Amino acid sequence: MALLTRQEKKKIASPWVQKVFVDAKKTANLNLDDLDLVTQAAEDWVETNQASFVAALPEPFKTNTNAAEKTLMLVYVVMKRAGLI
């Protein structure tokens, strides 16, 4: 995957800022550069670990789902672990 543009990173960070700071009425102690860096770090981690995740998936899930479906499952698991769903 190509590197995320600054605008794409902003689209990712915006709902996070809304939930973590605006909705929670917390003072934002991070700036756009901070969010840009952490968004890129998360993207780099996903890129580095994608093959490992797919290799760990059991059959028949692995062969009967596409990349977007696999990603969505990972996202739901991570959100559940964080108490978001």
pLDDT of residue 3: 77
d(CA 71, CA 65): 10
d(CA 4, CA 41): 11
Weakly modelled stretches of the chain, pLDDT under 50: none
pLDDT of residue 1: 55
d(CA 5, CA 11): 10
pTM listed for this prediction: 0.81
pLDDT of residue 19: 92
